[in-house]
Amino acid sequence: MKQGLLSWSPCPHSLFLPTFYPIPFPMTHLTIPTKPIFPIKSALESASETSLTARERRQMRNERRESKPTYNWKEEVEERLIKKPKKKYKSWTEDLNLDYLALLGPQWWVVRVSRVSGHETAERLARALVRNHPEVEFKVYAPAVQVKRILKNGSISVKPKPLFPGCVFLRCVMNKEIHDFIRECEGVGGFIGSKVGNTKKQINKPRPVSTNDMEAIFRQAKEEQKKTDEAFEEEQQGEGTDIKANAASKDVPGTSKSKRRSRKASKTPPSDQPTGRDDKLLLPGSTVRVISGSFAEFSGTLKELDCKRGVATVGFTLFGKETLADLDVSEIVGETE
């Protein structure tokens, strides 16, 4: 058997050797990143700190801390402590002390007065405060609407109509002395407030009125006064037209005479109705019967008869008691038994 070398080809189907064509590639320079070389300070600092004392090292550490823009929590805590009010521990007896109301400053207080004479009580209270406490600055306000009316004689009457009957508003610095003085005034029933204390002792502590509520009261008083004035003007205009109509009716002839005749006719009594003057039975002590007036159909005893004035005094028995009444002679008639 012969031994020899066999020829090898990458392409088994071809007897020719492959040809390679050069492919152009761009030439790039590759750079290998290198780590930056930082100066080694730790060893130097440690070496320098070993030569410093403890105080100097502490000062350097504090300087480094201050140089850094860090969050300072101490300043925030101090600001909160300044703004936060201190908690007050008070006993139940402090609520009973009315002198603490002076710490609130000038406030509006509500005073209870009579519903009928509230305006007079407010004036009396103001005069009493001026006379007895001239050093106290105060304001007394009784909200009311000035109602105008035209009287029969043509004059105009003005009367106050209270908006809050039974209430008078007082603005001052309240303390126990002023509180007790106002309560002792005539016509004052006390203050509007709330009860404080415990089972041992309780008082009615005044409660101030807020500024918003007082502004609403002032606004309401102005609106009510405006409405009342407008209603009075409308009423006055209506009465002016009525007066003109009456004046026009007077100018018509015959109207006034007919009115006078009707009055005379009404005064003359009818012929069928008996009169007391012509009756011979009207003697003191006799029984009479009332035929007209407020005591009509009542029977009583004639006590006295005045023929000149035409007045008779009659006694009636009402609710078990005798009541005397002066009647016209034409209103009574004698009764026959």
Using 50, 70 and 90 to split pLDDT, how confident is the model at 32? low
Work out the average pLDDT over 314-322. Answer: 77
pLDDT of 109 higher than 90: yes
CA-CA-CA-CA torsion sign (132, 137, 138, 139): positive
pLDDT of 11 higher than 60: no
Beta strands 167-172; 139-141: pairing state: antiparallel
Q: Is 104 helix (H, G, I), strand (E, B) or coil?
A: helix
**Residue 137: how many CA atoms within 13 Å on its side-chain side?**
4
Residue type, 322: E
Cβ–Cβ < 8 Å for 296, 310: no
The enclosing H or E element of 75 equals helix 73-83
**Residue 141: how many CA atoms within 13 Å on its side-chain side?**
17
- Of 221, 122, 218, 217, whose CA–CA distance to 168 is shortest? 122
- Of 158, 115, 174, 118, whose CA–CA distance to 141 is shortest? 118
92-220 to CATH, choices 3.30.70.940, 3.40.630.40, 2.60.40.350, 3.40.50.20: 3.30.70.940
Using 50, 70 and 90 to split pLDDT, how confident is the model at 75? confident
Work out the average pLDDT over 22-39. Answer: 51
If one compares 240 and 38, the residue with the highest pLDDT of the two is 240
Average pLDDT, the chain: 76
Cβ–Cβ < 8 Å for 336, 325: no
Q: Given this structure, which CATH class describes domain 287-334?
A: mainly beta
Residue type, 175: N
Cβ–Cβ < 8 Å for 175, 104: no
Work out the average pLDDT over 113-124. Answer: 88
108 vs 103: CA distance, rounded Å: 14
Residue carrying structure tokens 């823009």:
69
pLDDT of 41 higher than 60: no
Q: Which long-range contacts (CB under 8 A, 24 or more apart) does 178-181 make?
A: 178/133, 178/136, 179/98, 179/101, 179/206, 181/128, 181/129, 181/132, 181/133
Token digits for 250? Answer: 């007077």
Residue carrying structure tokens 């106050």:
160
- Of 268, 293, 269, 274, whose CA–CA distance to 334 is shortest? 274
Q: How far is CA 40 from CA 47, 151, 192, in A?
A: 12, 111, 83
Domain ranges of the chain: 92-220, 287-334
- Of 185, 203, 184, whose CA–CA distance to 193 is shortest? 203
pLDDT tens, position by position, 131-180: 999 998 999 999 999 888 888 887 888 888 888 888 999 999 999 999 99
Q: How far is CA 69 from CA 59, 63, 64, 72, 110, in A?
A: 18, 12, 10, 9, 58
CB atoms within 10 A of CB 119: 17
pLDDT of 240 higher than 80: no
